[in-house]
Amino acid sequence: FSMEMHCVFFNEKFGSFTNVLRQQNEEVLVMAFFLQVPEDDCSCYQRGNRMLDPLVKVAASIKDKDTIALILRDDIVDIILDKMESTDYYTYSGSLTTPKYNEIVKWVIYHTPICISHQQ
């Protein structure tokens, strides 16, 4: 895949992600999406995937691997709703992918990639 994207969600009752990390239960939902630049015969290859424009804009601000990019909920809702209609996903209980690797995550991994253009 060209890229993997994780959308991390938690209940606002915790106030912050730092407070969520203190929990012992599965309090975090991570939706994982694969993104793929297709062969040049795909309609997405030239025009791009307009649904991803808000992500592309935020991604331009990422300068190194430790940069955290926050995206507004309204900017990703179309992507998520589009994939939520799919039954092509895996789910399991697991951990965060960053240290301390807290085992508080319910993972949902969508198998079918999202089409992106090379420019995106």
Domain ranges of the chain: 3-115
Q: pLDDT of 34-50, one tens digit each?
A: 988 877 656 665 566 77
Residue 59: the pLDDT is: 82
- Which residue positions in the chain have pLDDT lower than 50? none
To which residue do tokens 């959308």 refer? Answer: 7
Which pLDDT score is estimated for 40? 67
- Helix (H, G, I), strand (E, B), or coil: what is residue 46? helix
User: Which CATH superfamily groups domain 3-115?
Assistant: Alpha carbonic anhydrase (3.10.200.10)
Residues 104, 44: Cα–Cα separation, whole Å? 36
